[in-house]
Amino acid sequence: MLGRPKRKRMIRFNPEITYFKPAGVPMRELSEENLALDEVEAIRLYDLEDLNQEEAAEKMHISRITFLRILHSAHKKVAKSLIFGKAISLKGGDWIMPNFDGTGPRGQGSMSGRRAGLGRGQGQGLGGTRECVCPECGEKMPHTKGTPCSEIKCSKCGAVMRGEFCK
């Protein structure tokens, strides 16, 4: 007997940087934790946007209990990575995303569904930010879809740009 189908979670942030590892440790010596993009969204809404569970669950189009389960799983993975020195990859999960500007149909097109959109540039620079910001001088420029901000240099000081969410 099959259970109810898993409901896709609404996310509005696709990270530009999708991999973190401890400094100075070769990759061959590391194990890895994978944070699904719905877990990243839960952390963003609850910990960075300071939304309560009810508000965050509503934004993700899921129940409060499901949100809490996702958040607990994400926090546990991050804690394991920090304590045991594991790498963290951000990818996958069952999610849907509106168009990059927040408009358009949900769950339609190339940015919806399991592992959606990860074929183009492995999720790098595909959304989540509207501006690239220079961490050195504060210069801002419009974000170009498909190009990570980290591949662009500031026209004023030459520093590597960052997305507006990468503070």
Query: Could you report the per-residue pLDDT of 16-34, keeping only the tens digit for each?
Result: 889 999 999 998 999 999 9
Q: How many domains in the chain?
A: 2
Mean pLDDT of the chain: 80
Is the pTM here over 0.75, yes or no?
no
Pair (103, 166) in one structural domain: no
Range(s) of the domain holding residue 66: 1-116
Q: Do the Cβ atoms of 21 and 130 come closer than 8 Å?
A: no
Q: Which of 38-47, 87-96, 117-126, 151-160 has the lowest mean pLDDT?
A: 117-126
> Residue 8: how many CB atoms within 10 A of its CB?
21
Pair (92, 152) in one structural domain: no
Query: Is the pLDDT assigned to residue 155 strictly greater than 70?
Result: yes
Q: How far is CA 9 from CA 6, 66, 129, 151, in A?
A: 9, 10, 19, 30
Pair (36, 99) in one structural domain: yes
Pair (22, 58) in one structural domain: yes
Residue ending a domain, among 77, 94, 116, is: 116
Pair (88, 158) in one structural domain: no
Nearest by Cα to 12 from 60, 67, 65: 60
Pair (138, 87) in one structural domain: no
For 85, the token pair is 């020195």
pLDDT at 149: 78
Pair (106, 27) in one structural domain: yes
Pair (16, 56) in one structural domain: yes
For 21, the token pair is 């590892």
